[in-house]
Amino acid sequence: MKLSTSGLPQQGQHEGGEKKCLNSELWHACAGPLVSLPSAGTRVVYFPQGHSEQVAATTSREVDGHIPNYPSLPPQLICQLHNVTMHADVETDEVYAQMTLQPLTPQEQKDTFLPMELGVPSKQPSNYFCKTLTASDTSTHGGFSVPRRAAEKVFPPLDFSQQPPAQELIARDLHDVEWKFRHIFRGQPKRHLLTTGWSVFFSAKRLVAGDSVLFIWNEKNQLLLGIRRANRPQTVMPSSVLSSDSMHIGLLAAAAHAAATNSCFTVFYNPRL
Amino acid sequence: MKLSTSGLPQQGQHEGGEKKCLNSELWHACAGPLVSLPSAGTRVVYFPQGHSEQVAATTSREVDGHIPNYPSLPPQLICQLHNVTMHADVETDEVYAQMTLQPLTPQEQKDTFLPMELGVPSKQPSNYFCKTLTASDTSTHGGFSVPRRAAEKVFPPLDFSQQPPAQELIARDLHDVEWKFRHIFRGQPKRHLLTTGWSVFFSAKRLVAGDSVLFIWNEKNQLLLGIRRANRPQTVMPSSVLSSDSMHIGLLAAAAHAAATNSCFTVFYNPRL
DNA sequence: CTGTAGGCGAACAGCCGACAA
DNA sequence: TTGTCGGCTGTTCGCCTACAG
């Protein structure tokens, strides 16, 4: 059994025909400063029971108690992390990560040198701002009011010889979709606004007052655009496929099977806890 | 182990705080004439592998081959069907059924008399019509054109002494939500139309041309309203919780565990195959 | 500095019959 | 019989400034 095919964080596409890797700095910005991802090639500890309880919380269903015991499954698995890919839900833009884990035998844990990941918090990009949407921002009556410092820091400078100064902004979201906005500096007192294009964006993303938007100006002079939804206690899962019992069993059984055969298994990590 | 607590089709609420039982005739009308549900208290055959492949099709992901074998799990399980409940997805109105199954031991299969369900196709309601939406129906330019025979059969009769004849219709969907429509008979040549209220409905349900709507006039003189979406090859599952491998394992392991311990397990049946 | 509201022109929604398939 | 269209309002959208917190 070979262990480390590559220590490099390989972020290629996976699972036939899916997206290329998402923009990493935008993903981390949407996930927030407290969320960190271990690197591929390192060693991580996986807690099947804890993960199962997390999933239980999102499905908001009781476990009926029909879950079999997996006596061979230890409460924590030392694994090698083979692969980490960043994803975002197509519908909600919710960020999550997919990891390929391989349990290590006690012998391998001794033999193999693999750095233990400590979960360094990801550094947030420097040229970015995040604003929580007001009632006016999400009303159909007008546009989006950009805080002054934010506009000056992350938007390209306006040509103030025009009256009023205005430009078109193009920003890409996590799915690489382009959104165009008219950025104008006007009013009395003067202010930065996003007008045309703003309502298309916030209605497409179904943003409401209390949600946040986030603009990044990166080193490649690209404007990136992400969202963070307010903590609504929703997350009612699509229950129409698998019972919550089967989901819990699946989680535990997959880990147990991988531990027993030292083979890889896949988990999804949802940073919102 | 007691087997038949009750032979009656018990359709109460389940899983704390969820909906009461849905309207059965509307559920079957939305599912279509070819879909039948076995009754609670009867004996059914469950095919874990076949079910797993169905789920695989909806998740549109390849099985990586890391699925463990369950040698103790026979390809088909003779089960007693303890409970059947009808459901509809809150977001899409997609209908599905939840079943509680209990595998029978060979001995029980001999001892217990339970009628074998043959899957009688459900009879469709008599006073109903189903129309596939045209481009005009789903345009913002106008309302919904009701086929003449359909309107005369399932809508309350209009008062033709009025000019033009018109009334307000109130119809309930699978979630018991009320929708109001203005039903008018006008134009040259005369026709039945749903005007005010129609666009609210079809945009809320996100219906497009090619989808179908379905009205039922039942014995209690209630107007019921359902939808059947066109077969869009979508059904990309929310992958952000459980890997497809874990889902398959969960399905098989839950059945295997139930078979080994003769305990109940829960499956979801999605009629769209 | 920025959230909300009034003013107002333009765009769209949505009701109508005409026409034709 | 019914799908689509042009004609025609009434409503909403959305850009602007004024004002206040």
Note whether B100 and B181 are same-domain residues: no
> Is pLDDT above 60 for B235?
no
Question: Which residues, at least 6 apart from A6, have a Cβ–Cβ distance to it below 8 Å?
Answer: A40, A41
Tokens 């165009």, residue located: A180
Q: Are residues A89 and A133 in the same domain?
A: no
CA–C1' span, B159 to D5, in Å?
29
| B54 shares a domain with B41 | yes
CA distances from B76 to A193, A266, B101, B255 (A): 64, 28, 13, 10
pLDDT value at residue A128: 95
Which nucleotides of strand C lie within 7 A of protein CB? 1-7, 12-20
A171 lies in a domain?
Answer: yes
| A28 within domain boundaries | yes
Residue at A232 is within a domain? no
**Quick check: is A101 in a domain?**
yes
Note whether A255 and A46 are within 8 A (CB). Answer: yes
Percentage of the residues of chain B whose pLDDT score is greater than 90: 55
> Whole-number mean pLDDT of chain B?
84
HSE-CB of A111 using CA atoms within 13 angstroms: 9
Is B96 in the same domain as B166? no
Is A151 inside a domain boundary?
yes
Mean pLDDT over the full length of chain A: 83
Query: How many CB atoms sit inside 10 A of residue B92's CB?
Result: 15
| Max Cα distance, chain A (Å) | 74
More confident residue, B105 or B195: B195
Phi first, then psi: give them for residue A186, nearest 5 degrees.
Answer: -160, -175
The pLDDT of residue B117: 59
Report helix, strand or coil for A233.
Answer: coil
Asked if strand D contacts A194 at the CB level, meaning under 7 A, the answer is: no
Determine the Cα–Cα distance for residues B209 and B132; give it in Å rounded to an integer: 7
Cα A186-A192-A195 angle, rounded to 5 deg: 85
A254 contacts on B by Cβ (under 8 Å): 66, 243, 245-246, 249-250
Q: Is the CB of A33 under 7 A from strand D?
A: no
**pLDDT in the model for residue B194:** 98
CATH number at residue B148: 2.40.330.10
B181 and B160, same structural domain? yes
Q: How many domains does chain B have?
A: 2
Examine the pLDDT at B118 and tell me if it is beyond 60: no
Asked if A62's CB is within 8 angstroms of B241's CB, the reply is no
Give CA–CA dist A184/A172, Å, rounded. 19
For residue B128, the cross-strand partners are B216
Which positions in chain B touch A68 (Cβ < 8 Å)?
253, 257, 261
pLDDT at B271: 84
Number of A:B CB contacts under 8 A? 132
Asked if residue B13 has pLDDT above 90, the reply is no
CA geometry: angle B196, B197, B198, nearest 5 deg: 95
Do residue A103 and residue A138 come from a single domain?
A: no
Is pLDDT of B201 > 80?
yes
Residue A11 — very low, low, confident or very high, per pLDDT cuts 50/70/90? very low
Q: Do residue A91 and residue B55 have CB atoms under 8 angstroms apart?
A: no
Same-domain status, A40 and A62 = yes
- List pLDDT tens digits, range A203-245: 999 999 999 999 999 989 999 999 999 987 555 555 678 888 8
Split at pLDDT 50, 70, 90, the class of A33 is confident
Which residue's structure tokens are 């009011």? A145
Cβ < 7 Å from strand C, A residues 50-109: none
Q: What is the pLDDT of residue B65?
A: 57
Average pLDDT over residues B244-261: 90
From the number of C-beta atoms within 10 Å of its C-beta (0-12, 13-18, 19+), residue B48 rates as buried
A157 pLDDT higher than 50: yes
- Asked if B96 and B269 count as a contact pair (C-beta separation under 8 A), the reply is yes
Instruction: Match 């229950």 to its residue by tokens.
Output: A239
**pLDDT tens-digit readout, B147-186:** 999 999 999 999 999 989 999 999 999 999 999 999 999 9
Range of the structural domain that residue B47 is part of:
24-123+242-269
Q: Identify whether the C-beta of residue B214 lies closer than 8 Å to the C-beta of residue B129.
A: yes
CA torsion angle for B96, B100, B105, B110 (degrees, to 10)? -80
Q: Which of B24, B202, B25 is nearest to B128 (CA)?
A: B25
The beta strand positions in A10-155, using DSSP E, are: 43-46, 77-88, 95-103, 128-132, 144-146
pLDDT of residue B114 exceeding 70, the answer is no
Number of helices (H), then strands (E), in chain B: 6, 11
Give domain status of residue B28, yes or no: yes
- In the predicted structure, residue A12 carries a pLDDT above the cut 50: no
Cβ pair B241:A270 closer than 8 A = yes
Is A142's CB less than 7 Å from nucleic acid strand D?
Answer: yes
**Chain B residues within an 8 Å CB radius of A246:** 247, 250-251, 253-254, 265-267
Please tell me whether residues A94 and A158 are part of one structural domain: no
- pLDDT the model gives residue B63: 55
For residues B103 and B254, the answer to whether their CB atoms sit within 8 Å is no
The answer to whether A263 and A77 are in contact (CB under 8 A) is no
With CB atoms and an 8 Å threshold, state whether A246 touches B247.
yes
Same domain, A136 and A202: yes
Pairing of strands A166-172, A223-228: parallel
Q: Are residues A107 and A134 in the same domain?
A: no
Whether A229 is covered by a domain: the verdict is no
Q: Is A94 helix (H, G, I), strand (E, B) or coil?
A: coil
Q: What positions of strand D are covered by protein, i.e. any atom < 7 Å from a CB?
A: 1-7, 12-20
Which protein residue has its CA closest to C1' of D17?
A187
CA distance B17 to chain A (A): 10
Is residue A18 in some structural domain?
no
- Give the tens place of pLDDT for each residue, B209-220: 999 999 999 989
B10, burial (CB in 10 Å: exposed 0-12, middle 13-18, buried 19+)? middle
Closest residue to A242, CB basis, from B68, B247, B258 = B247
Work out the angle between the directed axes of helices A48-59 and A244-261 (0-180°, nearest 10): 160
Same domain, A249 and A206: no
Name the CA dihedral angle for A18, A20, A24, A27, rounded to a multiple of 10 degrees: -30
Q: At what angle do helices A244-261 and B244-261 cross, to 10 degrees?
A: 100
pLDDT per residue over A53-111, tens digit each? 887 777 655 555 567 777 777 888 999 999 999 999 888 899 999 999 999 988 877 77
Indicate yes or no: strand C within 7 A of the C-beta of A153.
Answer: no
Predicted confidence (pLDDT) per residue in B39-98, tens digit:
888 889 999 988 888 877 776 555 555 677 777 778 889 999 999 999 998 888 999 999
Residues of A in contact with B245 (CB under 8 A): 254, 265-266
Residues A77 and A140 occupy one common structural domain: no
pLDDT at A124 over 80: no
Which of A15, A62, A237 lies at the smallest CB-CB distance from B241?
A237
What dihedral angle (degrees, nearest 10) is formed by the CA atoms of A186, A190, A195, A198? 160
